[in-house]
Amino acid sequence: MAVGNKTKPEGKANKSVVEMLRKTPEEIVDERLSGSYQPTIVSSTKTKEEKHYVDTQWALFFYECGIPFNAAVARQFHIAVEATTQYGSGYKPPTPYQLGDPLLQEAVKSTSTMREEHERAWKHYGCILMSDGWSDRRGRHLINFLVNSPEGTYFLESIDASSEVHDAYMLAGLLEKKVEEIGKDKVVQVVTDNGANFKAVGKILMDRIPTIFWSPCAAHCLDLMLEDIGNLSEFKKPITRARRVTTFIYRHGRILSAMREKTVLEFSGRLP
């Protein structure tokens, strides 16, 4: 769940017209992600060497701190970079103390405010309670609870259910408890996996709370369908061969490097 300040920060009263009319980092990043953003004149005048130098510094930061590379596509990362750019040269990053105490408390407060906005939408439009069970590397069975409405999807809670017997009545009890926390008058639908036990859960819930109805997760249904298709004799053999090819490629560095190079060239349109 993203946390951020949606308003322009207050500053000195003697701001220039350009600064007052400038869009917020959130607005710029959203336009960039949607493909409607137009680069500024200043950024357009920068050379490839200048851009490469900045890219290198960010890359070294990721390498030194062991940050997963997919963090570079996070919306909040782009917002932070844009906010720093708008601040200008001389920006002093926050200290570990600031990150761990005052800024963290502000983020918690911002998250609470965000929940209030979602709760208003739940009350006005109604909402959908969604659950997703999975096991982590430590073998714990975790169940995530999320609430969806026109305001968006809000992460409610994650619980460790490793010590519980995962029968229909236990799962129905958990979901019923969450429905009561949100409000029976607000929850109109419950979405879960498509397992046999969850089908029983849906029936129990609808008997206990007549105002809601249960639906299986469409993505999970598609996943099960594709899994069954993959087990058909017509597809099982080609899929097994494809897995052997991918395993061979990923075990040999030079071949993997060549594959990545050719794939990038093909998707960029530079191959004949």
Q: What is the CATH number of the domain that holds 168?
A: 3.30.420.60
- By residue range, what is the domain housing residue 47? 17-93
Tell me, what's the pLDDT at 5?
Answer: 56
**Residue 114: inside a domain:** no
d(CA 39, CA 55): 17
At 102-116, the pLDDT tens digits run 999 999 998 889 999
Residue 206 predicted with pLDDT over 70? yes
State the total domains in the chain: 3
Dihedral sign (CA 207, 209, 215, 216) = negative
pLDDT digits (tens, 9 = 90+) for 146-158: 999 999 999 999 8
**Domain presence at residue 102:** no
Q: Is residue 61 part of a domain?
A: yes
pLDDT tens figures, 54-90:
999 999 999 999 999 999 999 999 999 999 998 999 9
Residue 78 and residue 128 share a domain? no
- Say if residue 156 is in the same domain as residue 243: no
- How far apart are the C-alpha atoms of 189 and 206, rounded to whole Å? 10
Q: Does residue 135 share a domain with residue 187?
A: yes
Element (H, E) at 139: none
Q: Name which of 24-38, 149-163, 168-182, 244-258 the model is least confident about.
A: 24-38
pLDDT tens, position by position, 215-243: 988 888 888 888 888 888 888 888 889 98
- The reply to whether 9 falls in a domain is no
Closest by CA to 204, choosing from 167, 157, 164, 163, is 167
Q: What is the DSSP letter of 5?
A: -
Average pLDDT of span 191-204: 87
Examine the domain organization and report whether 128 and 218 are in the same domain: yes
Q: Is the pLDDT score of 14 beyond 70?
A: no
Contacts made by residues 195-198, CB under 8 angstroms, sequence distance 24+: 197/166, 197/167, 197/168, 197/171, 198/168, 198/171
Q: What is the pLDDT of residues 162-194, one digit of tens each?
A: 877 678 888 899 999 999 999 999 999 999 988
**Residue 253 counted as domain residue:** yes
5 is a domain residue? no
237 and 215 in a common domain: no
Strand order in the sheet with 141-149: 152-160, 141-149, 127-135, 187-192, 213-216
Q: Mean pLDDT across the stretch 37-62? A: 87
- Does residue 180 sit within a domain? yes
Phi, psi of 269 (to 5 degrees): 80, 15
Domain assignment of residue 195, yes or no: yes
pLDDT for the residue 10: 57
> What does the block give as tokens for 24?
């917020």
